[in-house]
Amino acid sequence: MGIITQIDTALLLSAGLGTRMGIIGKQLPKPLWPLFDQTILDYQIQYLRNLNIKRIFINTHCLANQIHEYINQKKYYDVTILHEPVLLKSGGTIHSLLKLQQGVFSKLLVLNADQFYFPNKDIWEQACVESKNYTAVLFPLNCLLKDGYNELITKNNFLQEIINFTNIEKGQNDSYITFSGMGIINMDRLKYVEGISKFWETVANYKSDQIYITPAKDYCYYDFGTNQRYFDTCFKVAEELKSKMNLFSRLGNAKKMLTDHKVLNFSKFPFSNPQGHKAIILQSSQKTIINSAGLYFNEIIDPIV
């Protein structure tokens, strides 16, 4: 990505329950969902390595064994697993890492495993500078009410308030900013909190601390956070392959794959469409898939309306 930073440690938040990923989310953890010939997790690790990140921590909870086995299989030696038998929430995860690695590093890049945020080089470097002075420096997104995101209210680049999207008084086409899920945390400024805690209460508490928000411009963003967004974003990625700038070129890869815009098939050819359905299909050529009711399938289809 052509970005240089002194930050060398990252936390990839991956302990979600998969409830927004439909019936397939009950069988396959989101980081292992395919994106062409690799998984989202593979590309996230590449994304972080491109930022010169040397230590990658990933927290797990639901379907954790699948993620653990995959990381071992791929020999990702720079990845350390933080398993959470009890979900700590993102604030609790950051504080558990603070206790575990206190004094080893001072800056931590935190990001969601189901999203890719490519900041402008100048904005990124400014964020790295600002992270010396503030507990949290966060990267925002521009969005619309239909996107269903909470609104960040800022003043002079500092967070003042967060408004739940159900209470936002804007028209459907009025834009506002929200949190992208990616930020730089100054661990030296954190006071350790034991156990479960929320990000906005124990890490980026704008009511008691100055939380810096970078300008919401000149970025590129990919969201795989729900089954519908995964479906739409995969085809956005495929459409971008017609141009020089796309997800894979931003990651330093050159990828080409044809798609018919109807089916995402979790097999060797993830965009095949044998039946003309508009759906996400999970297939297993090596073993049967067991659903939550204990039934066995070779294939699970999740229709996308």
The reply to whether 13 and 75 lie within a common domain is yes
DSSP for the chain, please give it. Answer: -----S--EEEEE-----GGGTTGGGTS-GGGSEETTEEHHHHHHHHHHHTT--EEEEEE-TTHHHHHHHHHHTT-TTEEEEE-SS--HHHHHHHHHHHHSTTT-SEEEEEETTEEEE--HHHHHHHHHHTTTSSEEEEEEEEEGGG-PPEEEEETTEEEEEE-GGG----TT-EEEEEEEEEEEEGGGPPP--S---HHHHTS-TTTS-EEE--S-S-EEEE--SHHHHHHHHHHHHHHTTSS-SHHHHTT--------SSEEEESSSTT--SS---EEEEE-SSS-EE-TTS-EESEEEEE--
Instruction: Report if residue 271 sits inside a domain.
Output: yes
240 vs 28: CA distance, rounded Å: 26
CATH number at residue 154: 3.90.550.10
- Output the six-digit token pair for 128: 């790295």
Q: In this model, does residue 97 exceed pLDDT 90? A: yes
276 vs 206: CA distance, rounded Å: 49
Chain segment 107-162, per-residue pLDDT in tens:
999 999 999 999 999 999 999 999 999 999 999 999 999 888 999 999 999 999 99
Whole-number pLDDT of residue 274: 41
Q: In this model, does residue 71 exceed pLDDT 70? A: yes
Instruction: Report if residue 189 sits inside a domain.
Output: yes
Total tally of structural domains belonging to the chain: 2
The reply to whether 131 and 17 lie within a common domain is yes
Instruction: Report if residue 137 sits inside a domain.
Output: yes
The reply to whether 38 and 150 lie within a common domain is yes
Among 223, 252, 272, the domain-final residue is 223
Q: pTM for the whole thing?
A: 0.86
Instruction: Report if residue 123 sits inside a domain.
Output: yes
The reply to whether 72 and 179 lie within a common domain is yes
Which residues have CB under 8 Å from 75's CB, separation 6+? none
Rounded average pLDDT over 271-287: 51
117 vs 132: CA distance, rounded Å: 21
Interior angle at CA 110, CA 151 and CA 213, nearest 5: 40
The reply to whether 240 and 217 lie within a common domain is no
What percentage of the chain carries pLDDT values higher than 70? 81
Whole-number pLDDT of residue 83: 96
* Higher pLDDT, residue 78 or 103: 78
The reply to whether 269 and 158 lie within a common domain is no
| Residue tagged 């653990």 (tokens) | 68
Instruction: Report if residue 3 sits inside a domain.
Output: no
| Residue tagged 């070129």 (tokens) | 249
Among 223, 244, 264, the domain-final residue is 223
- The confidence band for 287, taking pLDDT boundaries of 50, 70 and 90, is low
Instruction: Report if residue 128 sits inside a domain.
Output: yes
* Higher pLDDT, residue 285 or 125: 125
Least confident of 42-51, 55-64, 242-251, 263-272: 263-272
The reply to whether 100 and 248 lie within a common domain is no
For 189, the domain range is 9-223
Whole-number pLDDT of residue 271: 38
Among 172, 197, 223, the domain-final residue is 223
Q: Is 75 exposed, middle or buried (0-12, 13-18, 19+ CB in 10 A)?
A: exposed
Chain segment 176-210, per-residue pLDDT in tens:
999 999 999 999 999 999 999 999 999 999 999 99
The reply to whether 26 and 169 lie within a common domain is yes
The reply to whether 217 and 71 lie within a common domain is yes
The reply to whether 107 and 195 lie within a common domain is yes
